[in-house]
């Protein structure tokens, strides 16, 4: 069976059982890749409302970063302890 070349893959937000891990800043409007290997559906919701995504358990997905540079604090509706900051520059 032939393999698939999807190019370089960089996970911006990794979810584990206790928190978000944000690896790097992203460019305005770029795809933000999120990996949720846990057994729990998680939301990633910007405090300012600029993004709000549901990340099903066991998935790798993307969403579009805000178009304006800045720091975007985010949280999850599933647990108050899950917080992070997406830096767009």
Residue 22 inside a domain? The answer is yes
- CATH number of the CATH domain containing 37: 2.60.40.420
Q: Find the mean pLDDT for residues 15-43.
A: 95
Our CA dihedral for 4, 7, 8, 13, rounded to 10 degrees, sits at -70
**How many folded domains does the chain comprise?**
1
* CA nearest neighbour of 64 among 75, 49, 53: 53
Give me the pLDDT at residue 10, please: 75
Q: Which domain holds residue 53?
A: 13-88
Mean pLDDT taken over the chain: 90
Residue at token pair 């790097």: 24
> Tell me: the pLDDT tens digits for 43-68?
999 999 999 999 999 999 999 999 99
């Amino acid at each position: 069976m032939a393999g698939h070349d999807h190019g370089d893959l960089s996970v911006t937000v990794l979810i584990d059982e206790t928190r978000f891990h944000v690896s790097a800043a992203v460019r305005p409007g770029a795809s933000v890749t999120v990996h949720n290997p846990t057994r729990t559906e998680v939301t990633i919701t910007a405090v300012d409302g600029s993004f709000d995504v549901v990340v099903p358990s066991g998935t790798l997905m993307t969403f579009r970063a805000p178009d304006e540079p800045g720091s975007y604090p985010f949280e999850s509706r599933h647990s108050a302890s899950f917080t992070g900051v997406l830096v767009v520059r």
